[in-house]
Structure 1
Amino acid sequence: MWTLRLVAVGIVLAALNLRPAITSLGPLLEEARVGLHMSGTAAGLLTSVPALCFAVLGIAAPRLSRRFGPAAVVCAGMAAVAAGLAARSLAGGEAGFLAASALALMGIAVSNVLMPVIVKRYFPDRVGSMTGLYSMALALGTSAAAAATVPMTSALGGGWRTGLAVWALPAALAVLPWLVLVLVRNRSASAVGGAAATAESAPAPRITRSPTAWALGGFFGLQATGAYITMGWMPQIFRDAGVPASTAGVLLAVTMAMGVPLAFVIPRVAGRLRHQGPIVVLLGLCGLAGYLGLLLAPAAGAWAWALLLGVSNCAFPLALTMIGMRSRTGAGVVRLSAFAQSAGYLISVPGPLLVGMLYQHSGGWTLPLSLMAALLVPQMAMGVLAGRDRTIEDERGMRD
């Protein structure tokens, strides 16, 4: 059916644009800080804005989806991404830059929450493979922005503003398939949309009474903390160790690119396991090794640490997969996705800001890296709890 093919194209294009707003900034963060006269603490706040937007807007995503339909919300989200990325390249100060970034991140936030819902609705028998495809595209967009921003900026002969503005173009392209889905109302699309609306309006469990939901929210939040610290600060860690800016961007790209093959493989493997805990622990141990390497020999072993942290960051597609597996119903997935991502991103807000403050006041990376490594311990604990073979509908507190 052509509608499903169009949805698949829309999912891939949307996923490609869910991280460039963040990873395109990392390699140019130093230039942007100087150009906008930002302090280290303000830059840390900037790296915390994504998580804050995702937490706040994630709560609203299910209601917006019920009111306008998921395709319309994602379409508006992609338009907001394109507008925000274009606007922030023109900002004259910190406030304007933060506001424009927030607009783009709001669009990303609602799309983040609705992607697992759309996959569950349109591809109920292929949740693992479609989540893998979506996660792979997300990782590809993430790594491409990290690797290409500095070379593209140089090739275009512009400053950091030009390098950031370029990423508004693919975001604008991502609007098109969702716009077609919204405008074209054939019988098949109406049937699928009606089923989705019915499922979303069905009685849903009290998500806050589910221990699994809380564990999944904690796991999501802690992995998001590590991911956004990495995306926001990893290039700076390497630059402070004497690595050139262009190479630091490529190293971040390598970290993000690890998610391209692994984001496709991990959800498929996780879907075949009764308990996803072993995968959680393996990813956490890779992260601990990567942070230890950054602490002891950041430049000498740069490529190895980038690879290890790339493996560790694949906790994100694993979390998305577990969201789809921990509920039996469409209504449950909507609620669980919104709760886990909103609570998770709220948990992750202080992390990048705290790293920026520690970096500024300690003058080095020993304390920030120690914090990042320490957070992997509760991340693994929460992930093991969330990975148990159960659904939220089966838990006692949800049935009372």
Structure 2
Amino acid sequence: MTPPPPPTATAVPPATVAPSAVDRGVDRPAPARHPATGGALVLAGMLLVALNLRAAVTSLGALLDEVRTGLGLSGAMAGLVTTLPTIAFAGLGALTPWLVRRVAPARVLVVAMAALAAGQVLRAVTGSALVFVLTSALALAGIAVANILLPMLVKQHFPHRTGLVTGAYTMALTTGTTVAAASAVPIAHAFGSWRVGLGVWAGLAAVAVLPWVPLALRARAAARRATPTADAAPRLRIRPARTRLGWAMAVYFGAQSLSGYAIMGWLAQLFRDAGYRPEAAGLLLAGVTALGVPIALLMPALAGRMRTLRPLVLSLTAASTLAYLGLALSPHDGALLWVTLLALGQGAFPLILTTIGLRARTAEGTVALSAFAQSTGYVIAALGPLLVGVLYEATGGWTAPIGFLLAALTVQTGAGLAIARPRYVEDET
């Protein structure tokens, strides 16, 4: 895919930035880089990180029944476990802009991916429900930081290829999500333990560390060479919490994440209850993300070409509405159709990731908007898996949980229409 640069990319002209400004995370766009000077390595590192950003979540969703049995989790406790991603993403995501102003992004990503690998190993070997929760939180902490950094790195290193690179890393993210959901149950059955089905993804996180090690060493060397004058360059501080655009972005991100994590955490269980075997239920969950791969690749290009995002917002809402109604009325017979419609509706995720870059003029604005939209949005999203679990346990069925998701979709649509027209967070600050 080689779409032309999105219109908004021209709002961030290349600038000559001192090495210390680039490597230490000063919020100004870097000049275009020749692959030999590190651009290719940055892109490879971003794609490997993206592959890891949901594998720890969807592998647990596919094996949730086995984990509940193995650790003796109640329905409410299982709901808490599936809510952990949103709690971690909200809490640590808000700290990421502060962190990258003090530590090079490459060094932050080394630690983040190492934490993800360690957390996945530790939670796979423990027999304690409490330790499982704590080590899951460690793994999710690494994901939380990476979530915020990727849009900033796109704006900083690839300012004229925002749509292309966003599409590439979103597709990688979706691919990792799909592979984990589809293969977690078969891997667990092949080795006779759900622990292997969860722990194997630590290897993927360990691989994602590798490209960032030389980049982190380069950042450290550049920081040592930095002059006081370069370090003292003024920075514009963007506060999205004081803008209507920032809040609309946060609500849209939160509502779509609420449904997304509820689906990742509970869709396989819904299909099991409808009569599907565990392997088939896991494959149906994987189907949502597999069908989302081309959507993740194309959505940034579509969003970048359109003056208003209104048609995309309304189309995604229509697909999700039909999917939820189908899951409530005929989950078994129409499963493939509902999975397809869910995949279309979940295109709201690559749409909002793209919109973060489209609604900011600078790298500083991008990281600020990314952090606020994602951290605040995940606070909203935390309600999703938890309330779905509570409603499922209280009613013994899926009508009430699906009704809740339809109500969240209504809120999502309203916020989506509010961010549909072109404007920039810097202009509202």
* 3-state secondary structure, aligned to 1:215: helix
SS at match of 2:211: helix
How many Å separate the matches in 2 of 1:41 and 1:162? 24
Task: Report the AA paired with residue 5 of structure 1.
Answer: A
How far did residue 206 of structure 1 move? 2.8
> Conserved in 1, the CA contact under 8 Å of 2:299 and 2:350?
yes
Task: State how far apart, in whole Å, the 2-side matches of 1:352 and 1:21 are.
Answer: 15
Normalising by structure 1, report the TM-score.
0.94
1:265 aligns with 2:314: no
Shift of residue 184, structure 1, vs aligned partner: 3.4
2 CA distance for matches of 1:154 and 1:351?
29
Size of the alignment, in residue pairs? 391
| Distance in 1 of aligned mates of 2:95 and 2:161 | 26
Which residue is 1:231 aligned to?
A: 264
Report the CA distance between 1:332 and its aligned residue.
1.1
1:166 aligns with 2:200: yes
Are residues 229 and 200 of structure 1, via their aligned partners in 2, closer, same or farther at CA, if it must alter by over 3 Å?
Answer: farther
Q: 1:95-116 deviations in whole A, cap 9, x for unaligned? A: 1110010000000000000100
Given the alignment of the two structures, is residue 63 of structure 1 paired with residue 91 of structure 2, yes or no?
Answer: no
- 2-side partners of 1:201 and 1:52: how far apart? 33
When structure 1 is superposed on structure 2, of 157-166 and 48-57 the one drifting more is 157-166
Query: Equivalent residue for 2:138?
Result: 103
Tell me if 1:125 matches 2:160.
yes
Identity across the alignment (%): 49
Distance 1:86 1:163 in 2: 11
Query: Match for residue 277 of structure 2?
Result: 244
| Residue segments in structure 1 that go unaligned for 5+ positions in a row | none
1:347 aligns to what?
Answer: 380
User: 1:1-37: CA deviations, max 9, x gaps?
Assistant: 2300001100110000000100001111001001111
Pair 1:69–1:186, CA change in 2 (3 A): closer
Q: Which residue of 1 aligns with 2:210?
A: 176
Which residue number in structure 2 is paired with residue 299 of structure 1?
332
Tell me how far 1:201 sits from its aligned partner: 6.4
Q: Residues 394, 198 of structure 1: CA spacing in aligned structure 2 closer, same or farther, 3 A cutoff? A: farther
Q: 50, 59, 80: which is aligned to 2:85?
A: 50
Find the aligned partners of 2:253 and 2:118 in 1 and give their Cα distance. 28
Q: Distance in 1 between matches of 2:352 and 2:97?
A: 19
Counterpart position of 1:90: 125
Q: Name 2:410's counterpart in structure 1.
A: 377
8 A Cα contact 1:278 1:384, kept in partner? no
- Counterpart Cα distance in 2 of 1:212 and 1:357: 33
Specify the alignment match of 1:32 in structure 2: 67
Deviations 1:131-155 (Å, cap 9, x if unpaired)? 0001000000000000011111222
| Contact 2:155 2:362 (C-alpha < 8 Å) held by counterparts | no
Deviations 1:192-232 (A, max 9, x none): x99xx979961223322210110000000000000000000
> How far does the alpha carbon of each residue in 1:289-314 deviate from its partner, in whole angstroms, 9 at most, with x for none?
11111001101011111111111111
- The answer to whether the aligner puts 1:10 opposite 2:34 as a matched pair is no
Task: Determine the C-alpha separation between the residues in 2 that align with 1:186 and 1:373.
Answer: 49
Shift of 1:158: 2.4
Runs (4+) of structure 1 exceeding 4 A deviation are: 197-201
Which amino acid is 1:383 matched to?
G
- Alpha-carbon deviation of 1:38? 0.6
Segments of structure 2 that go 5 or more residues without pairing to the other structure are 1-34
Residue identity opposite 2:180 in structure 1:
A
Point out the more displaced range, 244-253 or 386-395. Answer: 386-395
**Cα distance in 1 between the residues matched to 2:110 and 2:232:** 21
> C-alpha separation between the residues in 2 aligned to 1:74 and 1:35?
33
Counterpart in the other structure of 1:116: 151
Q: Which amino acid aligns with 2:183?
A: A
Note the aligned Cα RMSD (angstroms): 1.9
CA displacement at 1:280 relative to structure 2:
1.2
One-letter code aligned to 2:185: V
Q: CA deviation at 1:331?
A: 1.4
Cα separation, 1, equivalents of 2:149 and 2:310 = 25
Aligned residue identity for 1:44: G
Q: Which structure's residues are more often helix, by fraction? A: 1
Alignment partners' CA distance in 2, 1:316 and 1:201: 33
